Amino acid sequence: MRFFDPFEELRRMQERMSRLLEEFDRFAFERELTAPLDVIDEGDKYRVVVDLPGFNKEDINVYVEDGDLVIKAERKEEKEEEGKNFIRKERRYGEVYRRVSLPSEIDVDKISAKYNNGVLEIIIPKVEKEKKVIKIE
């Protein structure tokens, strides 16, 4: 005759919840992540600073589309790790995506970017707008 052990049942429930949370966590991080960024108005230009730690320069794409600055970075899981038996795996893989509206007074052809030590810096020069003086009669 087998007796009901409430502690054993609690342990099983905890294991099931842990597996469920790990699966949810993996699903969420395999999708898109966001990257924190700062946009600084420096008078003659805007400077955008984005934290992208752990990415290679080749994995980052920056472009202008429909008046927005688009930043995409993708970190892929390396193939040689597939056969390893991880005890704990917290390093995430997925895509970072940010879209920032740009003001109209910028020089799109002179935008530059550099990536160093996990920080992407984008310089967006402003263009001088001519002011039309209207003569009052």
Q: What dihedral angle (degrees, nearest 10) is formed by the CA atoms of 74, 77, 79, 81?
A: 160
- What's 60's domain CATH number? 2.60.40.790
What are the tens digits of pLDDT across the range 23-64? 766 555 444 567 889 999 998 999 999 999 888 899 999 999
For residue 136, tell me if it sits in a domain.
Answer: no
In a domain, 21, yes or no: no
Which value, to the nearest 10 degrees, does the dihedral of the CA atoms of residues 54, 42, 98, 49 take? 10
Domain count, the chain: 1
**49, 38 Cβ separation under 8 angstroms:** yes
pLDDT given for residue 30 in this prediction:
47
Residues 81 and 52: their CA atoms lie apart, in Å, by 22
134 part of a folded domain: no
Residue 4 forms part of a structural domain: no
User: pTM (2 decimals)?
Assistant: 0.64
Structural domain contains residue 43: yes
